[in-house]
């Protein structure tokens, strides 16, 4: 099964995020936008794993989560990965990320011990679209600058979720496997 660890987006922010996506759609660039119900912040993408590895991951999360308290993040600003010359991902950024980053680094230590690749330079973000080509790139860059300081809002992080991702022709289907509450 294909699995990842994520933070779900507060429902009160989803309409604002959807509106940002609609503004980018005006550029008519070849972008596959993330469906509203699939918006999340990825803490770790594990890829294809078996049941034994899944149980190992769950145990590691349960062990580490105990030392992390709930926190808030502020979703704001737009950006791209890897850079403006070669845009592959459109994202919304975050402020007040220290607790988020600490949680990700702490969990990643155990995931690396399990044989998963270490996250090199993890940047907390919310992917809103994946760019599929260079058509209308200038329009996309203009919109990025125009919306660069957009404010979406603050949200409380009280839990993280382990999700299964099934790829289908209509897009991915995410199923929650387990939730972990921050103490």
**Which of these, 77, 67, 59, lies nearest to 99 by C-alpha position?**
67
What six digits make up the tokens of 87?
Answer: 């845009």
**Which tokens belong to 169?**
């022709």
Structure tokens belonging to residue 22: 């609609």
Point out which residues pair with 125 in neighbouring strands.
none
The conformation of residue 38, written as its DSSP 8-state character, comes to G
Residue among 179, 158, 7, 180 nearest 71 (CA): 158
125 is catalytic: yes
CA proximity to 151, closest of 31, 19, 41 = 19
Active site residue 68: no
Per the residue annotation, which of 3, 27, 40, 77 is the catalytic one?
A: 40
- DSSP annotation string for 80-144: EEE-SSSEEEEEEEEES-HHHHHHHHHHHHHHHHTTPPPPSS----EEEEEE---TTHHHHHHHH
Catalytic member of 44, 125, 143, 163:
125
Residues designated as active site: 40, 125
């Amino acid at each position: 099964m294909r699995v990842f660890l994520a933070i779900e987006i507060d429902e009160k922010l989803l309409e604002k995020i959807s509106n940002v996506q609609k503004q980018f759609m005006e550029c008519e660039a070849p972008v596959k936008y993330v469906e509203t119900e699939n918006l999340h912040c990825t803490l770790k993408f594990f890829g294809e794993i078996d049941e034994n590895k899944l149980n190992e991951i769950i145990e590691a999360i349960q062990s580490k989560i105990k030392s992390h308290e709930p926190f808030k993040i502020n979703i704001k600003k737009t950006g791209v990965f890897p850079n403006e010359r070669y845009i592959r991902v459109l994202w919304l950024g975050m402020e007040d990320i220290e607790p988020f980053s600490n949680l990700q680094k702490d969990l990643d230590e155990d995931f690396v011990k399990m044989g998963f690749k270490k996250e090199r330079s993890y940047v907390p973000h919310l992917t809103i679209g994946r760019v599929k080509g260079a058509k209308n790139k200038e329009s996309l860059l203009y919109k990025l600058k125009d919306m660069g300081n957009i404010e979406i809002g603050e949200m409380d992080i009280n839990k993280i979720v382990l999700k299964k991702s099934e790829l289908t022709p209509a897009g991915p289907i995410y199923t929650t496997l387990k939730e972990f509450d921050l103490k």
